[in-house]
Amino acid sequence: MRQRGFHVTICEQAETLRETDAGVQISPNGTRVLASLGVLDALRDLAVEPTAKTIRLWNSGETWSLFDLGTMSVAEYGFPYLMVHRGDLHTTLANAVEQLDPDAIRQGAGVVEVENRTDGVTVSLSSGERVSGDILIGADGIHSGVREAVFGSGPAHFTGCIAWRGVIPSSRLPTHIRLDVGTNWVGPGRHVVTYPLRAGKLFNFVGVVERSGWETESWTSKGTREECADDFAGWHPDVHALIDNIDVHYRWALMSRPPMERWSAGRVVLVGDACHPMLPFMAQGAVMAIEDSITLARCLAKSPDDYVGAFSTYEAERVTRANRCIVAAERNRDIFHNERLMDSGDASRYVSTQWSEPKVRDRYHWLFALDAVGED
């Protein structure tokens, strides 16, 4: 927005822009946008471009190579697939904003009240300040205060899955694990995703377990090494090597909200998890927010005096795609956690079928190929 000539005030609820100890995958449909913003090179220096993505069987460790995420991604889509530390992504973006406007980001400024008027919009902040503008963009995540103030909170439902996460210094891991490869371990009722970060110095771990009756949504709730290991009892020693070397085992419940068909009301519009929270099984949550943002900026730049028309065009481009991704992520849970993976003989046949080249392409090509940058 700032690059397109708009004055922007970012109201950040966190008191400081501290590092979040977790990874994020950015597929070529996202790195295309970051390139257009001029931040891809800086991020690329901090990230890992994986050489491959593999599937491994939960107990035997049998491995199937899916596709080359390095040269293949650039050759087919024009942009890389990156595995990034969230702190590095946040820092890169914040630095780019501050170069354009050192005063744009206000910290400790969570939105607590929204006045959505015909002549403008005003927010009251947790700092006690009030800020007014022509429009308000709610980019405040699954627990969006902007969405709640304007649309209502909407019911949050426990999906039946909890997730463990942690980041591990790669030096603690056996050499055969420390590869520039993204790995999906699949098994009955649960799965694990691992990949390298920060030029291979760190390794990211996310383990998802089907469970009933535990609904703590907090991103920073802590469990124990023993609890995490128990959730993956019987899994391959490589999985336990990862679990054993995590310093802090965070866990949280995966929640969902019904898809929204309208993301704007009056002078307020939503982006990212504020309007389309999704399960992480397509690795597209962050990328969908990145696509939303460039699309909204482009629509507003084309119609700077017609926010209603710009919001309408934005929704027409984005709602169907984001909601399709929600459904695809839910479908992937069934694929990753299928009971056929319990039997070793059937598991091999199942993986070879479900992760065949045509099926993988069908699941991901429509995502990776999109050019959300378009033309202003």
SS (H, E, C) 249-314: CEEEEEEECCCCCCCEECCEEECHHHCCCCCHHHCCHHHHHHHHHHHHHHHHHHCCCCHHHHHHHH
**To which residue do tokens 């703590």 refer?**
216
Of the residues 77, 81, 195, 314, only one is catalytic, namely 195
Strands 130-133 and 105-107: what pairing?
unpaired
195 is a catalytic site residue: yes
Q: Which helix (H) or strand (E) holds 332?
A: helix 307-336
Closest CA to 50 of 20, 23, 89: 23
Intra-chain end-to-end CA distance of the chain, in Å: 12
Handedness of CA 234, 238, 239, 243 (dihedral sign): positive
As given in the structure block, the two tokens for residue 320 are: 């169907």
Whether the CB-CB separation of 227 and 249 falls below 8 Å is answered with: yes
The whole-angstrom distance between residue 260's C-alpha and the CA centroid of its chain comes to 18
As given in the structure block, the two tokens for residue 247 are: 């310093």
CA angle at 273 for the pair 272 and 278, rounded to the nearest 5°:
115
Strands 10-12 and 105-107: what pairing?
parallel
The string of DSSP codes covering 168-222 is EEGGGS-TTT-SSEEEEEEETTEEEEEEEEGGGTEEEEEEEEE-SS-----TT-B
Which residues are marked as active site? 195
